[in-house]
Amino acid sequence: MLWKPATSSGDAAPVIGAPQPTPIEGATALKVRIHQRLLEFLNLGLLDKTPRESLRLEIRGAVSALLADEKRILNLSQTDQLIEDVLDELLGLGPLEPLLKDETVSDILINTHSVVYVERFGRLERTDVRFQDTRHLVRIINKIVAAVGRRVDESQPMVDARLADGSRVNAIIPPLAVDGPLVSIRKFAKSPIRMERLLELGSISSDMSHLLRAIVQSHRNVLISGGTGSGKTTLLNALSAFISDEERIVTIEDSAELQLQQPHVGRLETRPANIEGKGEIAQRDLVRNALRMRPDRIIVGEVRAGEAFDMLQAMNTGHDGSMTTVHANSPRDALSRVEQMIGMAGLEISPRSIRQQIASAINIVIQAERMDDGRRRVVSISEVVGMEEDVISIQEIFRFRRQGRGSGGGVSGEFETTGVRPRFIDVLAARGVELPYIDFSAGRRSV
């Protein structure tokens, strides 16, 4: 029985003539008010078990009665839209549902309850989406974070979470957010973006894609570097598609969002501290535990602190082909950041020893960048070739050379070779990995 039992026999129905709040004009206010009244009569325990179409029929009659009680007359189209909005409030994330269903939206940025921006095709635009008030927005935030066993309140006003489809969510509420709650949602495609799609988008050249396939198949350790929103995770997903189905992979993330297609994948996710400040499980703990799980490869979503040392240890002790990402603006900066993060582990290791560990563990650094026009490109593929005195030596193999602005305002340029032949070419042959012929002559336009 979808409706709560009535005091008399029969199903309960929304009570007509009940005291009403002061009418507030606007579709959002009406939707939220009807949703709140429906909650008084619905058996919430059966909502998730009731098919959406059956629920729609049940809700239509109740909404019609409540609209009559509100003295609001809507046409059929408006009524259908209101019912969809109410269903979104009951089953989904309210005003966010249309944006989450819109495949052209890649980011949703909520700046308080009254301002919502989205990113489409690399460009930010303001939407007409609104929440009724701060309480309404906070309720939606709590619905998101509760699904992954997390919480947000005044004692813990920042939270990272994810949606069921793997989309990444970050929320911060007052008192840290001065004007009201701030929410960022990084959406992910329902199906992972593969290398073929990156080629279509112009994010990479064909020669570069062939080289990256060989790099992954030959078990080179890869560090993907880039700024926020540069496509590091997307590229990591694309590279993971080249891993054999016969290998065991363990992924470690703060918020599980990788979309690996292999059948033998173990997914691990960190856990924040509870209200008493206990129970935290950090990435470093999971990396150490992963070493006991007999992985062929370990993939860390992003290294931020001391887990960088454990990741290098894994790469240096038989887990060849492992991959991770880091925030940095260039391949050289990426290696420097890894060195700094190893320092955060609190170990007594000399800088030279740290650099030797890095040079031995990391074979390839891939730099991704989000351009001024919103497009994301792989702007550099570099090989770590060892140490020269106290400096890690790297050589760039491919790069993206900017040439200015195109007629449509987009960044123009081309991928080109640097004249360096990778040293790991011999490793490919030894491992039986075939690489189509690539001309590494200096300045050659990469196709």
Retrieve residue 344's tokens: 């955060």
**What distance in Å separates the CA atoms of residue 65 and residue 90, rounded to the nearest whole number?**
18
Q: Give tens-digit pLDDT for 266-294.
A: 999 888 777 777 888 988 899 889 989 99
**What distance in Å separates the CA atoms of residue 364 and residue 321, rounded to the nearest whole number?**
10
Average pLDDT in the 88-105 region? 82
Average pLDDT in the 411-429 region? 90
User: Quick one: 84 exposed, middle or buried, by C-beta within 10 A (0-12, 13-18, 19+)?
Assistant: middle
Average pLDDT in the 128-143 region? 88
Give the pLDDT confidence score for residue 45 in this predicted structure.
Answer: 57
**What distance in Å separates the CA atoms of residue 176 and residue 179, rounded to the nearest whole number?**
9
Tell whether omega for the bond before 175 is within 30 degrees of 0, i.e. cis: yes
CA distances, 351 to each of 2, 305, 309, 328, 338 (Å) = 65, 16, 13, 20, 12
Answer with the residue of higher pLDDT: 46 or 179: 179
Give the pLDDT confidence score for residue 44 in this predicted structure.
Answer: 53
Name the pLDDT band for 400 (thresholds 50, 70, 90): very high
Q: Give tens-digit pLDDT for 325-340.
A: 999 999 999 999 999 9
Name the pLDDT band for 111 (thresholds 50, 70, 90): very high
> Considering the entire predicted model, what is its pTM?
0.77
Half-sphere exposure of 212 (CA within 13 A, CB side): 30
Q: In what order do the strands lie in the sheet with 297-300?
A: 265-269, 249-253, 297-300, 323-327, 222-226, 364-370, 376-388, 391-405, 411-417
Average pLDDT, rounded, for the chain = 84
Q: DSSP secondary-structure letter at 95?
A: G
Q: Give tens-digit pLDDT for 30-57.
A: 766 776 777 666 665 565 567 767 777 7
Q: Give tens-digit pLDDT for 221-241.
A: 999 999 988 889 889 989 999
3-state class (DSSP) for residue 296? coil
pLDDT of 59 over the 90 cut: no
Cβ neighbours of residue 323 under 8 Å, at least 6 residues apart? Answer: 221, 222, 223, 224, 236, 239, 240, 297, 299, 300
Give the pLDDT confidence score for residue 8 in this predicted structure.
Answer: 44
Express as a percent the part of the chain with pLDDT over 70: 88
The continuous run of DSSP H or E covering 396 comes out as strand 391-405
pLDDT of 23 over the 50 cut: no
Give the pLDDT confidence score for residue 26 in this predicted structure.
Answer: 61
- Count of helix runs (H) and strand runs (E) in the chain: 13, 15
pLDDT of 356 over the 60 cut: yes
248: left (phi over 0), alpha (psi -120 to 50) or beta: beta
Name the pLDDT band for 406 (thresholds 50, 70, 90): confident
**What distance in Å separates the CA atoms of residue 272 and residue 279, rounded to the nearest whole number?**
7
